[in-house]
Amino acid sequence: MIDVRGLTALAVADGVRVGKWRARDVVEPYLDRIAQLDGALGCYLRVDADGARRQADAVDAACKGGRDPGPLAGIPLGIKDIFCTRGVETTCASKILRGFVPPYESTVTARLGAAGAVALGKLNMDEFAMGSSTENSAFQPTRNPWSPAHVPGGSSGGSAAAVAASLCAGATGTDTGGSIRQPAALCGVVGVKPTYGRVSRYGVIAFASSLDHPGPFGRTVEDAAALLEVMSGLDPLDATSIPQPVGGYRQAARSGREGLAGVRLGVPQEYFQPGMDPEVETAVRAAIDELARAGAQIVPVSLPHTKYAIATYYLICTAEASSNLARYDGVRYGHRAEQVRSLEELYTHTRGEGFGAEPKRRIMLGAYVLRAGYYEAYYGKALRARRKIADDFSAAFAACDAIVTPTSPVPAFKFGERTADPLAMYLADVYTVAPDLAGIPALSQPCGLTRAGLPIGLQTIGPALGEEICFRVAGAFEARTDWHTRLPPEPAL
């Protein structure tokens, strides 16, 4: 049996494509690992073993028949439970969608499948992607593989933890305020949020439509690049999808091995503020020194409106969420309240019973900021602040090619540590929300471990459609360090 612990996605695809392994022989050990270890971690909400075997057999049949099995042949992926998967229950980790079996497939999962990837199952998350610890899942906690007392981050916490623990070779996620990069940082894996519109949102359950960015998780920079290349591209089913050609992300990641001569990297002082963990600061500054040794020129830049980013983000995302979540009414799918006396009661009881505390809080805040008389003071003001934040990046990119920062000001925190105070949880996203507001690409990769053994993430931010420079910088760092090869301890059974 193949030992899949620490295996990279591209090692799987290479092995399957050259006939060294059958896809089925790779999928089975992952299914075994999930069966043995996921009880301790809680990454998966459901495993689709039959579906995974069917997809793997189709890849093997293609190979046997002399057909190209695709660039991602046989790669076992975990799918965040926000992606609609035809015939496989999709809940967004919410009771209000329990039992929902989508009649159609998201563009992202359809493209990954067409490229030969195998979907193992659906991964846990914060309910409706609202949260930074996966504690808001209506169904189960997910534990950080590096320390079971700590959260994996969120909202894509199941995705990050599953990749870290080798319960899949790669995963999908979505990032609205940091929900790919922050859990990637806290679990010691690579996570990428591309340019807005680069990856289709079709079939991705909507949270805040102008901010939702689907993207990949990988064990290495090139793994994430390979997944993003397949996920990206114009989709007629998403009106906000962009037509520009998809870049050569894998090639960019590999080119980083040749060094960073001629690359200017901006370091914003606003991302090194009091309140950040000293071990995080030390590791990230050491990473920036390593990038300088790789040939990059380090330049100070300023993003002066950073301090407004969290407030701006929460006004916009709650406004959009209150609108998007209006569709959950108990009529067409999901939970429906019983014993109601009117249509009005059907709505209010269904939603009161079905939504957890955080979606309720955001729906209410969104309703507040969109109210007649308040709209301009809150939502309108936030839309203007959003432009100032985006303009900061445009100005900075006149002086540098990419920006490097910590991904999160702190390593993984303990369960319950931030749940009592929603604002404390919101501030976990302080270094990740601004690229979402600006719609520009950003990547997190492991760059250290704390003395307690918790991962630390380095964030590289690029200009719009600058995924390639992010992959090149990250590839350079990865080629010169071994943080990406560190594995968490095996879960205690």
Site for other proteins, residues 448 to 487, rule: CB under 8 A: 464
Q: Which is nearer to other proteins, 32 or 421 (CB)?
A: 421
Which residue is associated with the tokens 């392994």? Answer: 21
Q: Is the dihedral of CA 236, 239, 244, 248 positive or negative?
A: negative
Q: How many residues interact with other proteins (rule CB under 8 A)?
A: 76
**Least spacing, CB of residue 331 vs other proteins, in Å:** 5
Binding segment for other proteins among 13-21, 60-68, 194-202, 442-450 (CB under 8 A)?
194-202
Q: Which is nearer to other proteins, 11 or 321 (CB)?
A: 321
Q: Judged by CB under 8 A, does residue 194 bind other proteins?
A: no
Backbone phi, psi, residue 298, to 5°: -95, 125
Q: Which is nearer to other proteins, 3 or 344 (CB)?
A: 344
**Least spacing, CB of residue 118 vs other proteins, in Å:** 25
Q: Which is nearer to other proteins, 250 or 362 (CB)?
A: 362
**Least spacing, CB of residue 197 vs other proteins, in Å:** 5
Spacing of C-alpha 344 from chain mean position: 36
Instruction: Specify whether 80 is catalytic.
Output: yes
Q: Which is nearer to other proteins, 353 or 490 (CB)?
A: 353
Q: Which amino acid is at 437?
A: L
Neighbours of 372 (CB within 10 A): 6
Backbone phi, psi, residue 61, to 5°: -65, -40
| Secondary structure letter of residue 442 according to DSSP | E
Q: Which is nearer to other proteins, 96 or 252 (CB)?
A: 96
Catalytic residue among 80, 166, 232, 408: 80
Instruction: Specify whether 64 is catalytic.
Output: no
Q: Which is nearer to other proteins, 139 or 347 (CB)?
A: 347
**Least spacing, CB of residue 289 vs other proteins, in Å:** 32
Q: Judged by CB under 8 A, does residue 322 bind other proteins?
A: yes
Spacing of C-alpha 73 from chain mean position: 22
Q: Judged by CB under 8 A, does residue 246 bind other proteins?
A: no
Q: Judged by CB under 8 A, does residue 56 bind other proteins?
A: no
Q: Judged by CB under 8 A, does residue 239 bind other proteins?
A: yes
CA pair distance 149, 428, nearest whole angstrom: 18
**Least spacing, CB of residue 389 vs other proteins, in Å:** 9
**Least spacing, CB of residue 381 vs other proteins, in Å:** 5
CA atoms within 13 A on the CB side of 90: 23
Q: Judged by CB under 8 A, does residue 92 bind other proteins?
A: no
Q: How far is CA 265 from CA 187, 268, 273, 284, in A?
A: 25, 10, 19, 13
CA pair distance 280, 100, nearest whole angstrom: 41
Site for other proteins, residues 97 to 116, rule: CB under 8 A: 99-101, 103-104
Q: Judged by CB under 8 A, does residue 149 bind other proteins?
A: no
**Least spacing, CB of residue 351 vs other proteins, in Å:** 5
Q: Judged by CB under 8 A, does residue 123 bind other proteins?
A: no
Catalytic residue among 179, 232, 408, 444: 179
Q: Judged by CB under 8 A, does residue 416 bind other proteins?
A: no
Q: Judged by CB under 8 A, does residue 201 bind other proteins?
A: no
Binding segment for other proteins among 23-31, 54-62, 125-133, 334-342 (CB under 8 A)?
334-342
Binding-site member from 140, 240, 255, 302 for other proteins (CB under 8 A): 240
Output the six-digit token pair for 56.
């793997």
Binding-site member from 295, 380, 416, 489 for other proteins (CB under 8 A): 380
Which residues, including other chains, have CB under 8 Å from residue 85's CB and lie 6 or more apart?
A: 48, 79, 102, 105, 106, 109, 119, 122
Catalytic residue among 94, 133, 147, 155: 155
Output the six-digit token pair for 188.
């010691």
Q: Which is nearer to other proteins, 286 or 383 (CB)?
A: 383
**Least spacing, CB of residue 350 vs other proteins, in Å:** 9
Binding segment for other proteins among 185-193, 410-418, 422-430, 477-485 (CB under 8 A)?
422-430
Binding segment for other proteins among 115-123, 336-344, 403-411, 477-485 (CB under 8 A)?
336-344
First-to-last alpha carbon distance for the chain, in angstroms, is 21
For residue 403, what are the β-bridge partners?
266, 461
Q: Judged by CB under 8 A, does residue 130 bind other proteins?
A: no
**Least spacing, CB of residue 323 vs other proteins, in Å:** 10
Whether the bond into 155 is cis, omega within 30 of 0:
yes
Q: Judged by CB under 8 A, does residue 174 bind other proteins?
A: no
Q: Judged by CB under 8 A, does residue 347 bind other proteins?
A: yes
Q: Judged by CB under 8 A, does residue 395 bind other proteins?
A: no
Please state whether beta strands 297-301 and 190-193 pair in parallel, antiparallel, or not at all (unpaired).
unpaired
**Least spacing, CB of residue 416 vs other proteins, in Å:** 16
Instruction: Just list the catalytic residues.
Output: 80, 155, 179
